[in-house]
Amino acid sequence: MMRLLLILSIVCWASLGHAQDTEPSDGEIVDAEVIVEKEKQINLPKSTRLYQRSTIQNRTIGKLPLRYQLSEPTFEVPVFQADLTAKDLEEPVEETIYKTFLKAGYGNFQSPLFQVYHHNFAEDKYRYTIHARHESFGKGPVRDDLSSSALTQMDFEGEMIGKKSIAAWDLGWKGRSYHHYGISDTHFDQALASENFLTDKIVFNSFNAGILIADNGQADSRLKYKVAPYWVFSSNKESGGDVFAEENNVGMDVDVDWSISSTQNLGAELQINTSSYISDVKQNRTWITFNPWFKISQEKWHLIAGIQLGNYSDSSSHSEPYITPDMHFQYHLTTRWKVFSEVTGGVTRNTMTDLAEENFFLDDSLDLQTTFTPFKASVGVSALFADHLSFRAFASIANTKRLQVFVPGQADSSRFVSNYDNETTIFSVGGEVLYHLTDQLTASLTAEILSYHVDVLREPWHLPSSKFDLTVSKGFGEDLTVSAALHFLGGIKSPNAQGETEQLGAIADLSVHSQYQFSKKFGAFLGFQNLFNSDYERYYNYNVRGISLKGGLTYRF
């Protein structure tokens, strides 16, 4: 235990000593399944930027499910949303044998990586997991340390299992540092002369805590339930300076599922959330949703019929009750083919925390509004070919009010503000193919085409019209594994500093990661990102780094 505390201390010290970052939000495309974490930072712009200091704007809070794999434990931290469902902490055999996993590496762009993972299982009584990770980049895409970044994450989760119920908890912290470097070299000297230009490091911190009380999933129990209160706090500030903005989010999810018979279930979900965002102004927001439903399961078809009754209030703008459908149907044409359809709706809470997960180059003050979807209808078909190849295709249409997009700020075009469309119709067509021949070879392919019909916005700024993801993992014996991922986004547009529409160009990002085990305890890894060496922009004027590589060692005990 002393060794573990010493390791955690080293990771924390390293995170404070570096001013750099690593995460999907940097504008790079990431795939959690491929162990290469695509967390590059984005590069320099091409147009003028305006420099007046403005206030910070925040965003939404979500849920914090963490999933780990031994070969390489990884953080999967979508923002905390109280979906603290009882986690299946069971790990692969290797992970069960070796309770502690250490990883250390280094790459170009002055990028150290430290990671520690430790878990302890006590039969069926209690389990806990500690996970810490730090990665930083001393040099960014432009001007060396003025585009550096760092990301540090720590999480402590566990559960205690009783005869009839489970009590689980989750405590986490994420700290990110970065620079607003989205300005071209042509205008950089001019920016330095402006007293409002920020060259200082920005620090974004997020803390979350949640507990879960639930049934223990016994097969003979007709009642299943979940009660999950949670809290999330986020802040944005200059390093060593005052806080620009902060956000508190408190909520609770309650779930009940009653088995009436072997083919019928009756249930409901209640979600309550309140948020307080403070920047140059204070915004208090609340959401309440009640979702009763009835489920019928037959041999060839399944139906869930429900509705969502809710009310949301944004102190800065909107407040209204709503009713939306919650209908799900699927029918088995054969043992291998089925069709499905859904008609749903609901709200998206655009909090500072949520927005920062997508794009952390945010302005000092944000206009936070709730996105409301009166309905979304989708139909599709899925099939299983042989036992190792599956296919799914779908088409959908949605009506959305106050669709949220990012646009460069007028006072400072290197910092993004949140903008909204009054009413948007979204069409989508897509599909996925999954291939799992053996434990040694897996592959997945997903693609989607989207069309946005906007109202007051000129374009659906920074939203892609096409998405494509291909991942492949191949094992060579028991010691060597190689994974690759190709990510593509197309059709992204942004207004430039002159207010004109600018096409950002297609994004094609290829990464490869390999891991080799010298013995049961010692291993090595080597990863490459952005092998096409493209300087694409996920967000306007923020290009990513070129080819980056990182290698290091792993140790299990």
pLDDT digits (tens, 9 = 90+) for 95-105: 444 589 999 99
Q: pLDDT class for 145, splitting at 50, 70, 90?
A: confident
Q: What is the pLDDT of residue 310?
A: 95
User: Stretch 496-521: mean pLDDT, rounded?
Assistant: 92
Q: Which of 57-71, 424-438, 530-544 has the lowest mean pLDDT?
A: 57-71
Whether the Cβ atoms of residue 490 and residue 469 lie closer than 8 Å to each other? no
Distances (CA, A) of 59 to 243, 353, 370: 15, 5, 10
User: Stretch 208-234: mean pLDDT, rounded?
Assistant: 91
Q: Which amino acid is present at 117?
A: Y
pLDDT digits (tens, 9 = 90+) for 234-266: 999 988 888 989 999 999 999 999 999 999 999
Cα 16 from Cα 349, distance rounded (Å): 32
User: Stretch 471-500: mean pLDDT, rounded?
Assistant: 92
Distances (CA, A) of 131 to 73, 78, 92, 396: 8, 16, 17, 38
H/E segment holding residue 120: strand 111-122
Q: What is the pLDDT of residue 316?
A: 63
Is the pLDDT score of 86 beyond 80?
no
Q: pLDDT class for 158, splitting at 50, 70, 90?
A: very high
H/E segment holding residue 96: helix 93-97
Q: What is the pLDDT of residue 216?
A: 79
Is the pLDDT score of 40 beyond 50?
no
User: Stretch 294-303: mean pLDDT, rounded?
Assistant: 96
Q: What is the pLDDT of residue 434?
A: 94
**Token reading at 330:** 């699927």
Q: What is the pLDDT of residue 52?
A: 34
**Could you tell me what percent of the chain has a pLDDT over 90?**
61
Distances (CA, A) of 254 to 251, 296, 306: 10, 22, 16
User: Stretch 188-213: mean pLDDT, rounded?
Assistant: 77
pLDDT digits (tens, 9 = 90+) for 487-496: 999 999 999 8
Of 175 and 56, the one with more pLDDT: 175
Q: pLDDT class for 464, splitting at 50, 70, 90?
A: very high
Q: How far apart are the first and last CA of the chain?
A: 12
CA angle 483, 487, 493 (to 5 degrees): 165
pLDDT digits (tens, 9 = 90+) for 178-197: 988 877 655 555 555 555 55
Is the pLDDT score of 483 beyond 50?
yes
Q: pLDDT class for 463, splitting at 50, 70, 90?
A: very high
Q: What is the pLDDT of residue 41?
A: 38
Cα 267 from Cα 27, distance rounded (Å): 40
Of 426 and 140, the one with more pLDDT: 426
Whether the Cβ atoms of residue 404 and residue 417 lie closer than 8 Å to each other? no
pTM attached to this predicted model: 0.81
Cα 461 versus chain centre, distance: 20
